[in-house]
Structures are given as structure tokens and as C-alpha cells.
Amino acid sequence: MRNRVKDLRAERAWTQADLAQRVGVSRQAINAIETGKFDPSLPVAFRLARLFDQRIEELFFDDQ
């Protein structure tokens, strides 16, 4: 699953560690989400969407 997490984080000049702290996950989790190696659970996806003031479907895209 692709996503815009890295772009939205960069717009706010946050580091991965900053975002991780705000969402309540590890920095490695943010890195894996950004690189598409790990798809977050719905609660984490909702926290990310809320933090970036986006809807989930504007943040995550199905590959198919």
C-alpha cells in the first residue's frame, strides 16, 4: 500500500522521530510505513490521518 506520510511529514519539517512520538509508535515503524514495507493497523492509520488533517483514503492508496 502506498501512502503520503513522508511528504506530509516533510511539509511540516518533522523528523521520523517527531512523528513517531506524536503517533505513539517507534521511529522504525514510521520508516517502514513510509517505505511501504509495513501497513499500519487501522487505529494507527486513523491517528496519522487525524494528525495530518486528512481522510484515510487521502493518505493511503491501494496498489491495485
The C-alpha cell at 57 is 483514503
Does 18 engage in binding with other proteins (CB under 8 A)? no
Q: Coil, helix or strand for 52? A: coil
Cα 3 → chain centroid? 7
Q: List the one residue from 11, 12, 15, 24 that touches other proteins (CB under 8 A).
A: 24
Q: List the one residue from 14, 18, 32, 59 that touches other proteins (CB under 8 A).
A: 32
Instruction: Return the closest-CA partner of residue 24 out of 37, 12, 8, 40.
Output: 40
Does 22 engage in binding with other proteins (CB under 8 A)? yes
Q: List the one residue from 5, 8, 19, 20 that touches other proteins (CB under 8 A).
A: 20
